[in-house]
Chains A and B, each alone.
Chain A
Amino acid sequence: MDTFLAQFLSGLATGGVYASLALALVMIHQATRLVNFAQGELAMFSTYIAWSLVNAGIPYWGAFALTLAISFACGIAIERVILRPVERGPVLSMVVIFIGLLVILNSVAGWIYSYTVRPFPSPFPSEPLFGQHYISSHDLGAIAVTLAVLVLVYAFFRFTPLGLAMRAAAQNPESARLVGIRVGWMRALGWGLATAIGASAGMMVAPIVFLDPNMMSGVLLYAFAAALLGGIDNPFGAVFGGFFVGVLENLLGAYLIGQELKLTVALVVIIAVLVVKPSGLFGRTLVRRV
């Protein structure tokens, strides 16, 4: 029972990271109806920026905040410079641009920082908190950060005029434009926020998986699965999906099939769920008018 609880909790911790990245995916999907395949690499690059800042002698939480700000600005810049010229193009062209971004970011990170695996500092104490031994402080901290991000995002969209404007721009761009919302900028803001959320996910997962340019490829796949499992149009679904996928992955790896096949089996389980519920567990079923 002890090991089960430990596995379950550490699954929750990695699940929290998937949940953050899934939240970023949902955010861009809300604003643009597209799934951003470059989200993981964006998070990876942000984490490298944080690593540089920490190495330059800036205290951890200062570097954390600074990284979020830089990522936010970079996200906006990418939307304005690279995506805006083709936003009216076919969907698959956009997908291909995301793939292009993915390989560029990966390659540039490898070029600047080399492909060697580096440790990344954790801001939390190395001893488990509260005198228990089930969960390390970093895992606990990662879960707390995820939940904090979720609450902040919820509050932003629910209680601020800007959040309302962003929701309006996503739901009905034409009407939003008529009431004076700058839809293009709302989209850019969505990109900025998503990139910042991704950055927090990257900084939380880096102490666990270590820092290297390919660290996010697996994480992105799980986050993608989590977002779809919860329903791509539902932020809470995405967070639930993240925790669910993290726990599922960990328990499968520990008890049933070992580390080799756990990715495969996790994906098969998720797809089985999707075949039964094609728009995710909490997604809205789209009814088309003829």
Chain B
Amino acid sequence: MGAGNLPHAALAPWKRVAVAACLAALCVPPFVLSNFSVFQLTLVIAYAVVLLGLNMLTGYNGQISLGHGAFYAIGAYAAAILMDHYAVPYWMTLPVAAALCLAAGFLFGLPALRLEGPYLALATFALAVALPQLLKYKAFEAWTGGVQGITIVKPDAPLGLPVNADQWLYFFALAVAILMFSLGRNLLRGRIGRAMVAVRDNPIAAEAMGIDIALYKSLTFGVSAMFTGVGGALGAIAVQFVAPDSFNAFLSIAFLVGIVVGGLGTLQGAVYGAIFIQFVPNIADRISRAAPWAIYGIMVILFVYVAPGGVASFVHYVSRRWRRKT
């Protein structure tokens, strides 16, 4: 886990400069790219928050989930229903989505505690398959809009800021993501994070050290779902539309592919994975119109061949070699 072993969370001075430079660089794209590209980057940010959540569960806590698309959908629908039916301002929907997903994740985590490996994969996958069908279900149609889904309005920049809606949303998503990543970083570096890793690496030893395994596992499920729900709400606000079929089982699988390709058990891995999820299908489509998913599959397999520990560990390895040479 590399950086996870540092005794306290303070950054070295040169790292602080690097982080500041990165943040400054992240503010540039909206002013140089087309609106559509800015929209795509906003989605990357939303996915990064989602993958951070999934990485907590699968990477740090060792519980596989093929069902995070469901929590993404819950977050997205929470945002859409609140904005559409109750005229709640968009930024207020995020805490609601977070709380809802935290509760849903925790409750789902309780029975899932007893399941491991492929059994847990099935249980979570069932969630991913079941949720779109529930969203289509007649009894909930007044809220969810059934198969049609819900269309929401893109928020404008507040206070007369000289940016258009796409640019504003990018900055909003970026701010939320920075908040979520610093939350996640502090959580994972502290007592709770180390307990989560201990449960993954050796549950029996962790229990002997006084860690309540059941509590930590379901808590991790809840927190992971919360991050994913926030990402889902961001994604819904950016896309301006939610419908059951955009949250199919493939979305959950794509999330899992994203964290494995990005790097399990690393924070940066979430960002690399989000970039992969957003752009690789487009690239595959450009390479071959006839069989884009074949290209996608080949790229996934190539990524695993070249970087078995994910892009994050690959970057780590390359930068270490480079530093040793200079």
Contacts and interface: CB of A to CB of B under 8 A. Distances in A.
Nearest to A289: B204
Interface of A: 29, 35, 82, 85-86, 89-90, 92-93, 95-97, 99-104, 106-108, 110-111, 221, 224-225, 228, 232, 260-261, 263-264, 267-268, 270-271, 274-275, 278-280, 288, 290
A275 B261 contact: no
Given A103-B294, A268-B130, A278 B308 contact: no
Contacts of A90: 264, 308-309
B308 A93 contact: yes
Interface in B289-307: 290-294, 296-298, 300-301, 304-305
Contacts of A261: 133, 137
A132 B90 CA distance: 63
A268 B126 contact: yes
Given A108-B291, A263-B133, A275-B114, A92 B64 contact: yes
Contact of B297 (A107, A267, A268, A275): A107
A80 to B, nearest CB: 15
B297 A93 contact: no
Contacts, number: 123
Contacts of B58: 92
Given A85-B305, A275-B114, A228 B119 contact: yes
Give the dominant DSSP class at A's interface: helix
Interface stretch (B42-50, B93-101, B225-233, B252-260): B252-260
B281 to A, nearest CB: 10
Nearest to A85: B305
A225 B122 contact: yes
B92 interface: no
Interface string B55-72: 000100000100000000
A58 to B, nearest CB: 27
B213 interface: no
Contacts of A271: 111, 122-123, 126
Contacts of A275: 111, 114-115
19 contacts: A89-B304, A92-B256, A93-B260, A93-B308, A96-B257, A97-B300, A99-B257, A103-B293, A104-B298, A107-B297, A108-B291, A111-B291, A228-B119, A263-B130, A268-B126, A274-B122, A274-B123, A275-B114, A278-B114
B295 to A, nearest CB: 8
Contacts of A85: 305
Given A92-B256, A264-B133, A270-B126, 19 more contacts: A29-B118, A35-B118, A90-B308, A92-B260, A93-B304, A97-B301, A100-B257, A103-B293, A104-B293, A104-B298, A224-B125, A225-B122, A228-B119, A260-B133, A267-B126, A270-B122, A274-B114, A278-B119, A290-B204
B129 A96 contact: no
Nearest to A108: B294
B149 to A, nearest CB: 17
B175 interface: no
B121 interface: yes
Q: With a 10 A CB-CB cut-off, give which of A35, A260, A275 has the most chain B CB atoms.
A: A275
Contacts of B292: 107
Interface in B86-128: 111, 114-116, 118-119, 121-123, 125-126
Nearest to A267: B126
A271 B129 CA distance: 13
B155 to A, nearest CB: 34
Given A103-B294, A228-B118, A96 B123 contact: no
A224 B128 CA distance: 15
A225 B297 CA distance: 25
Contacts of A221: 125, 129
B134 interface: yes
B291 A107 contact: yes
B51 to A, nearest CB: 13
Nearest to A88: B308
A221 B127 CA distance: 12
A118 B31 CA distance: 51
Nearest to B114: A278
Nearest to A260: B133
B297 A104 contact: yes
Nearest to A263: B129
Contacts of B253: 99
B111 A101 contact: no
B111 to A, nearest CB: 5
Nearest to A266: B126
B114 A96 contact: no
Contacts of A260: 133, 136-137
Interface in B174-233: 204
A100 B301 CA distance: 6
A155 B71 CA distance: 46
